[in-house]
């Protein structure tokens, strides 16, 4: 089907998921919304995250999309259930796919999860993981400094290493995890630094691959796949600064962005 897949995040993080969807489903068009003006979502109360998420979805629904990927863990933790109940198109988040990928990987059943304050407080990861396997030990840690740093374009180098090293100390010292879930879509941009700090024995999991796989399965099941060959023109909409977004896009995609526009989200009543 000709319509696009809508992808949302509080900022640039969802690009890590969009990138993987484009790789696995090259004929599908993506319309991406990043709420860079109001990022980070992590420290915000649940009601605010829900409000902002629904505003982005409202914007996307006006563009006739066929499916939504909530490429933000914080928004997934707080708004996915409501979205799935309210919308009549398929909506998926990133937490279940991330949990599934971690379960496939762990050998000693000790899994670490890092995320924003909101995601960690919601306990969405331990719930998703232990629903599948009650015998898992899950250690969660909020890393509130990561998202603002990535949104400033700092993804490697000395500053990134110092912040990551300091933030991950509690997780590194106390538990013998063999798997670490990047429970925030911004964190894959710091993956090399995180791997360096955690050491080679810890497998790093980002939910993007598994989320893209789930996107593909859902489109197929609902007979919504675009089955002809094409080079779709993806669209990107930001509520805040677009210059930084362009730079981070370049880092991930190794090319310049074609279509990007600044937009204002319309307030809606939930």
Both structure tokens of 239: 């509520």
**Smallest distance, ligand DGL to C-beta of residue 4, A:** 21
9 binds ligand DGL (CB under 6 A): yes
**Residue selected from 51, 74, 96, 179 as contacting ligand DGL according to rule CB under 6 A:** 74
36 binds ligand DGL (CB under 6 A): no
Asked if 42 and 119 count as a contact pair (C-beta separation under 8 A), the reply is yes
Q: So which residues are the catalytic ones?
A: 72, 184
Provide the 10 A C-beta neighbour count for residue 262. Answer: 13
Instruction: Using alpha carbons, list the distances in angstroms from residue 47 to 27, 41, 118, 143, 264.
Output: 36, 11, 11, 21, 20
13 binds ligand DGL (CB under 6 A): yes
73 binds ligand DGL (CB under 6 A): yes
Q: Which residues contact 266 (CB under 8 A, 6 or more apart)?
A: 55, 58, 59
The stretch near ligand DGL (CB under 6 A) out of 58-66, 68-76, 152-160, 166-174 is 68-76
**Residue selected from 185, 193, 208, 215 as contacting ligand DGL according to rule CB under 6 A:** 185
**Smallest distance, ligand DGL to C-beta of residue 27, A:** 26
Query: Which regions of the chain does DSSP assign to beta strands (E)?
Result: 5-9, 30-34, 67-70, 91-92, 110-115, 137-142, 179-183, 203-206, 235-238, 260-262
The stretch near ligand DGL (CB under 6 A) out of 24-32, 72-80, 220-228, 246-254 is 72-80
Helix or strand holding residue 210 (H, E)? helix 208-221
Nearer to ligand DGL, 20 or 226 (CB): 20
Cα–Cα distance for residue pair 163/68, rounded to 1 Å? 33
Give backbone dihedrals phi and psi of 188, rounded to 5 degrees, phi first. -55, -25
The stretch near ligand DGL (CB under 6 A) out of 7-15, 169-177, 212-220, 256-264 is 7-15
140 binds ligand DGL (CB under 6 A): no
Mutual angle of helices 157-174 and 191-198, in 10-degree steps = 40
Cα–Cα distance for residue pair 14/252, rounded to 1 Å? 11
**Smallest distance, ligand DGL to C-beta of residue 99, A:** 14
The stretch near ligand DGL (CB under 6 A) out of 8-16, 78-86, 222-230, 235-243 is 8-16
Closest by CA to 41, choosing from 116, 115, 94, is: 116
Nearer to ligand DGL, 74 or 226 (CB): 74
**Residues present in the chain in total:** 270
184 binds ligand DGL (CB under 6 A): yes
39 binds ligand DGL (CB under 6 A): yes
**Residue selected from 6, 10, 18, 112 as contacting ligand DGL according to rule CB under 6 A:** 10
**Smallest distance, ligand DGL to C-beta of residue 56, A:** 12
- State the residues that interact with ligand DGL by CB under 6 A: 9-11, 13, 39-42, 72-74, 116, 119, 147, 184-186
């Amino acid at each position: 089907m000709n319509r696009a897949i809508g992808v949302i995040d509080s900022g640039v993080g969802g690009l890590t998921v969009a990138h993987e969807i484009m790789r696995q489903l090259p004929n599908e068009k993506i319309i991406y919304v990043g709420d860079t003006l109001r990022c980070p979502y992590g420290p915000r109360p649940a009601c605010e995250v829900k409000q902002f998420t629904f505003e982005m979805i409202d914007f996307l629904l006006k563009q006739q999309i066929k499916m939504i990927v909530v490429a933000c863990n914080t928004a997934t933790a707080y708004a996915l259930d409501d979205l799935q109940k309210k919308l009549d198109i398929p909506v998926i988040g990133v937490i279940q796919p991330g949990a599934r990928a971690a379960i496939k990987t762990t050998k000693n059943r000790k899994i670490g999860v890092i995320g924003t304050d909101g995601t960690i407080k919601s306990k969405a990861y331990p719930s998703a993981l232990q629903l599948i396997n009650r015998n898992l030990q899950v250690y969660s840690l909020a890393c509130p400094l990561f998202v603002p740093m990535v949104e400033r374009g700092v993804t490697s180098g000395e500053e990134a290493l110092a912040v990551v090293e300091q933030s991950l100390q509690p997780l590194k010292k106390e538990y013998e995890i063999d798997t670490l879930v990047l429970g925030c879509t911004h964190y894959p941009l710091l993956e090399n630094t995180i791997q360096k700090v955690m050491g080679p024995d810890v497998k790093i999991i980002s939910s993007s691959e598994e989320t893209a796989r789930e996107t593909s399965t859902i489109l197929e099941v609902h007979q919504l796949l675009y089955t002809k060959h094409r080079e779709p023109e993806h669209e990107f909409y930001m509520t805040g600064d677009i210059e930084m977004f362009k730079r981070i896009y370049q880092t991930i995609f190794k090319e310049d962005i074609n279509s990007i526009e600044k937009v204002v989200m319309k307030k809606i009543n939930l």
